[in-house]
C-alpha cells in the first residue's frame, strides 16, 4: 500500500511525480508506432521489424503531410 | 445560460467526415470510403487533397491487412499510426472506412471512440447527441431535467 503523504512539501513532491509520470506517458504515446485494434478493442503493436510496418508508417506520414498542405 | 442537447440530423456519408471534425478539435482532416474503397465523403472542400487522402486511407488498411494476415486474430477493425508530425486513426465496418489525420498529442482512446461513434451513426445506430444552442430561444417553456442542473443545490466544499 502506498504511504500517504502528509506535509505540504511531500504533497508538492507527489504532485511533481504525478506530472512527471503523465509527461512520460504522453511521450511514450507519441513515439512512432503502429497499433491495430480488434473488434473487441484489444490493441496489438505491429513490431517495427514486421512485414509492412515501414510501409504503413510511410502512408501515415504522407497522410499527415497532405493534411498539413491542405491547412496551409 | 443553460445547456441544451439536441438530436443531430440523420448522418449521411457525405457528412460523416465533417461530423467527425465537429466532434473532435484534434482532427485535421478526415475521409470516408465505401466498401469498394471509393471516396464517399471528406472534410472541408472536396478537392484533390481529399482524393489523395482517400487513396492513402485505402492503402493503409490494405497494408495493415497484409501485415496482420498471419496473425491468429480477427482482422483489425481500427488502426492507429503515430508519426513525427501527427497521427492517423482509421476505423472500418463492412460497409465503410473512416480515416482521420489528427494533431500530435490527440488522445488515442477518444479518437478511436469518436471514429466508432460516427461509423455507428452512419450504420443506423443512435445519433450522437451534441450540445448546441437552444432551437427556439423565444419560447421559454418548462425546462427538462437536464436543463436545470445548474439549479441543483451545490454540495458544500469543506474540510
Residue B136, SS3?
Answer: coil
B133 pLDDT higher than 70 = no
A4 — pLDDT class (breaks 50, 70, 90): low
With vertex at residue B36, the alpha carbon angle to CA B54 and CA A61, rounded to the nearest 5 degrees, is 25
Tell me the torsion sign for CA atoms B16, B17, B18, B20: positive
The Cα of B8 is separated from the nearest Cα of chain A by a number of Å equal to 26
Q: Which three cell numbers stand for residue B58?
A: 485505402
Residues of B in Cβ contact (< 8 Å) with A69: 49
Whole-angstrom distance, CA of residue A15 vs CA of residue B18 = 39
Residues of A in Cβ contact (< 8 Å) with B79: 34-37, 56
Question: Is A71 at the interface with chain B, CB within 8 A?
Answer: yes
Residues of B in Cβ contact (< 8 Å) with A28: none
More confident residue, B142 or A30: A30
Respond yes or no on whether ipTM tops 0.85.
no
Question: Is A6 at the interface with chain B, CB within 8 A?
Answer: no
B52-61, B63-72, B95-104, B139-148: least confidently modelled range: B139-148
Put simply, the answer to whether A69 touches B83 (Cβ < 8 Å) is no
B134 pLDDT higher than 80 = no
Helix (H) or strand (E) segment spanning residue B83: strand B78-83
Helix (H) or strand (E) segment spanning residue A56: helix A53-71
| Class of domain B4-141 as given by CATH | alpha beta
Q: Which three cell numbers stand for residue B21?
A: 471534425
B141 pLDDT higher than 70 = no
A68 pLDDT higher than 60 = yes
What is the per-residue pLDDT for A71? Answer: 72
B147 pLDDT higher than 60 = no
Amino acid at each position: 500500500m502506498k504511504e500517504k503523504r502528509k506535509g505540504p512539501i511531500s504533497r508538492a513532491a507527489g504532485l511533481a511525480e504525478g506530472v512527471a509520470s503523465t509527461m512520460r506517458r504522453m511521450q511514450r504515446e507519441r513515439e512512432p508506432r503502429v497499433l491495430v485494434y480488434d473488434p473487441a478493442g484489444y490493441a496489438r503493436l505491429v513490431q517495427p521489424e514486421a512485414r509492412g510496418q515501414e510501409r504503413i508508417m510511410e502512408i501515415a506520414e504522407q497522410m499527415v503531410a497532405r493534411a498539413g498542405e491542405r491547412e496551409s | 445560460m443553460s445547456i441544451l442537447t439536441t438530436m443531430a440530423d440523420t448522418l449521411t456519408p457525405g457528412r460523416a467526415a465533417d461530423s467527425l471534425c465537429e466532434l473532435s478539435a484534434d482532427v485535421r482532416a478526415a475521409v470516408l470510403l465505401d466498401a469498394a474503397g471509393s471516396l464517399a465523403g471528406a472534410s472541408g472542400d472536396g478537392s484533390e487533397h481529399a482524393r489523395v487522402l482517400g487513396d492513402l486511407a485505402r492503402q493503409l488498411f490494405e497494408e495493415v491487412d497484409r501485415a496482420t494476415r498471419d496473425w491468429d486474430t480477427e482482422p483489425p477493425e481500427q488502426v492507429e499510426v503515430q508519426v513525427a508530425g501527427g497521427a492517423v486513426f482509421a476505423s472500418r465496418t463492412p460497409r465503410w472506412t473512416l480515416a482521420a489525420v489528427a494533431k500530435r498529442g490527440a488522445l488515442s482512446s477518444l479518437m478511436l471512440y469518436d471514429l466508432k461513434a460516427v461509423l455507428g451513426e452512419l450504420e443506423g445506430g443512435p445519433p450522437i447527441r451534441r450540445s448546441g444552442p437552444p432551437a427556439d430561444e423565444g419560447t421559454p417553456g418548462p425546462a427538462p431535467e437536464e436543463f436545470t442542473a445548474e439549479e441543483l443545490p451545490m454540495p458544500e466544499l469543506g474540510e
